[in-house]
């Protein structure tokens, strides 16, 4: 490898460095590796947005550097989360559901934007979607397709990468024949572990947040980085990381 290494990370609030909730794993990984960091994580977002942000970020970096200089890390989010693109800019009357950014975008000079949905949100778009259109099998299908698309893009361009999940629920739904061929296409060799980060933190003995917030603490994120992520990267890619 020649040139400065670039670390591109993505996910939901478990992976977003701008939430203010805690110093999340991309923060600790950047600190340990000293790589130039591009964080695409954004709170409340589903796997469609995670995939699109990562692919766009890698595409832009490849204009300026070699694939050898890029490492991508992705923590997949809940399959029930959705998004819809609107070519017209939509403005909400206040942030009634606690999102980071909505509508959102990952390109410059976007005339429209992506409206993100969560199943307990009160905005009318989310209410209508989950009442009339939401289907758990279809949502799982989309999540698997997003993962496969991202995986195949990264392999096509010879990008070093790893994947993991924020919770076990990412792969919880399996009992449907429409999903079989999709699960069979996922390369689990590039997943850090078969356990979600949240479930892993419960095995550490570390104390969760006292207010009932399920988001891992900064201490949990640091431990996850040092015990799970960095050893995997060292073994898989032989990258020298001081941790």
**Tokens linked to 212:** 């009932």
Give the rounded percent of residues in the chain with a pLDDT score beyond 90. 87
Q: Is residue 125 part of a domain?
A: no
Mean pLDDT score of the chain: 94
How confident is residue 237, by pLDDT bands cut at 50, 70 and 90? very high
Domain-located, residue 40: yes
| Separation of first and last alpha carbons in the chain | 20
Residue partners of 121: CB distance under 8 A and separation at least 6: 96, 97, 99, 127
pLDDT, one tens digit per residue, over 129-154 is: 999 999 999 999 999 999 999 999 99
CB atoms within 10 A of CB 198: 18
3-class state of residue 241 by DSSP: coil
What pTM does this model have?
0.96
| pLDDT tens digits, one per residue of 57-92 | 999 999 999 999 999 999 999 999 999 999 998 899
Q: Give me the mean pLDDT over the 195-207 stretch.
A: 95
Whether residue 120 is contained in a domain is answered as no
Report residue 122: phi and psi, to 5°: -100, -10
| 197 within domain boundaries | yes
Helix axes 47-61, 136-156, angle to 10 degrees: 10
Confirm whether 151 is domain-assigned: yes
Q: Is residue 94 part of a domain?
A: no
Closest CA to 14 of 45, 49, 59, 48: 45
The verdict on whether omega for the bond into residue 103 sits within 30 degrees of 0, i.e. cis, is yes
Range of the domain at 75: 6-80+136-237
- What is the pLDDT confidence band of residue 211, given thresholds at 50, 70 and 90? confident
Q: How confident is the model at residue 201 (pLDDT cuts 50, 70, 90)?
A: very high
- 72: domain CATH number is 3.40.50.1110
Residue 123 lies inside a defined structural domain of this protein? no
User: Could you tell me if residue 86 is inside a domain?
Assistant: no
The total number of structural domains in the chain stands at 1
């Amino acid at each position: 490898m020649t040139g400065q290494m670039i670390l591109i990370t993505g996910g939901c609030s478990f992976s977003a460095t701008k939430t203010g909730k805690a110093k999340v794993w991309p923060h600790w990984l950047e600190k340990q590796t000293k790589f130039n960091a591009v964080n695409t994580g954004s709170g409340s977002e589903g796997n469609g947005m995670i995939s699109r942000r990562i692919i766009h970020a890698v595409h832009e970096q490849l204009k300026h550097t070699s694939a050898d200089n890029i490492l991508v890390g992705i923590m997949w989010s809940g399959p029930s989360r959705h998004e819809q693109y609107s070519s017209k800019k939509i403005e909400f009357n206040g942030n009634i559901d606690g999102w980071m950014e909505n509508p959102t975008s990952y390109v410059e000079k976007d005339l429209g934007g992506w409206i993100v949905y969560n199943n307990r949100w009160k905005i009318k778009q989310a209410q209508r979607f989950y009442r009339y259109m939401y289907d758990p099998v279809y949502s799982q299908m989309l999540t698997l397709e997003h993962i496969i698309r991202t995986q195949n893009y990264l392999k096509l361009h010879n990008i070093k990468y790893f994947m993991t999940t924020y919770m076990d629920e990412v792969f919880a739904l399996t009992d449907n024949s429409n999903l079989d061929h999709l699960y069979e296409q996922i390369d689990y060799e590039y997943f850090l572990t078969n356990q979600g980060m949240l479930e892993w933190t419960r095995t550490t003995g570390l104390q969760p947040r006292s207010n009932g917030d399920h988001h891992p603490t900064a201490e949990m994120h640091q431990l996850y980085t040092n015990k799970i992520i960095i050893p995997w990267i060292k073994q898989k890619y032989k990258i020298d990381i001081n941790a």
